[in-house]
Amino acid sequence: MREIVSIINQKGGSGKTTTAYALGTGLYKKGFKVLFIDLDGQANLTSAMQVIPSKSGILDLLTNKVRISEIVQKIAIGDVLVGSEDLFQADMNVVDVGKEYRLKEALADVKEEYDYVIIDTPPALSILTINALVASDSAIITSQAERFNSSGVDRISKVIETIRNHRNKSLVIKGVLLTRFKERTRLNRDFAKLLKEFADKLGTKVFKATIRDSIVISEAQAKRIAIFDYAPKSNVTEDYRVFIEEFLQ
């Protein structure tokens, strides 16, 4: 096991799922063994993959009703714990003492089977995201370049701080990844300063790699093909390649 990584941002549509999928498939293509975990009731990561849709089982896992080995699906690019709608009920169901540690405990049983575990999280700071961060060695915060602003930043910083102080001291924030970067997005001085302040606050960096906006992303998702196969030469695929190199440094 090298690393358990969560992709986070409580803001919807910031590129979490796209990044989780690209990172996981990119690592698989480099020869690593990958477990994907779709912790989102929207199950967008699951929809983008060629898996047999089924009831997730993750909620049962988080309430100690099943073991992780009973719900892992094997697919061409690795293993996956699929997401499903019942995850929207997680905050009402995952309530017992130690509820923040369920995913960490579950992963302890299987982590030696993988090089990387990539966790896609929902757009909320719910018990699911808490479980993800408690179980993780590191987190990546994705942010749509044009929508980055300081609102939301404080909330996510506080949650990370609380987790580091009380539940997972060794959690590393690997960096902030700017996604859906449009040519007209200007990395002007104010924006760069804001980003740096945010990253500093979390003791992290802004990834040098940025992910451009491209129609290829939604096309590949609709066809359920990884971008590295669907459009290996496109700009956005190259951006994710550069990001993965930076991730691995």
Ligand X SMILES: Nc1ncnc2c1ncn2[C@@H]1O[C@H](COP(=O)(O)OP(=O)(O)OP(=O)(O)O)[C@@H](O)[C@H]1O
List residues near ligand X by CB under 6 A: 12-18, 40, 42, 44, 123, 179-180, 211, 213-214, 217-218, 221, 236
The candidate with the shortest Cα–Cα distance to 144, out of 123, 168, 171, is: 123
Nearer to Mg ion, 38 or 79 (CB): 38
Query: What is the pattern of x (binds Mg ion, CB under 5 A) and - over residues 27-66?
Result: -----------------x----------------------
Which range in 16-24, 46-54, 185-193, 233-241 contacts Mg ion by CB under 5 A?
16-24
**Chain-centre distance for alpha carbon 187:** 24
Q: Contact 21/101 with Cβ under 8 angstroms?
A: no
The Cα 218–Cα 31 span in angstroms is: 26
Binding-site partner at residue 214 among ligand X, Mg ion, none, CB < 5 to 8 Å by type? ligand X
At its nearest, how many Å lie between ligand X and the CB of residue 143?
9
Q: Please report whether residue 10 would count as binding Mg ion according to CB under 5 A.
A: no
The candidate with the shortest Cα–Cα distance to 138, out of 53, 188, 216, 202, is: 202
CA torsion through residues 61, 131, 180, 42, sign: positive
At its nearest, how many Å lie between Mg ion and the CB of residue 40?
5
At its nearest, how many Å lie between ligand X and the CB of residue 222?
9
At its nearest, how many Å lie between ligand X and the CB of residue 98?
27
Binding-site partner at residue 211 among Mg ion, ligand X, none, CB < 5 to 8 Å by type? ligand X
CA angle 132/243/47 to nearest 5° reads: 55
At its nearest, how many Å lie between ligand X and the CB of residue 81?
16
The Cα 87–Cα 175 span in angstroms is: 27
Beta bridge partners of 36: 80, 118
CA torsion through residues 152, 153, 154, 159, sign: positive
Nearer to ligand X, 33 or 123 (CB): 123
User: Please, which of residues 181-200 interact with Mg ion by CB under 5 A?
Assistant: none
The Cα 243–Cα 209 span in angstroms is: 5
Q: What does the binding site for Mg ion look like in residue numbers (CB under 5 A)?
A: 16-17, 44
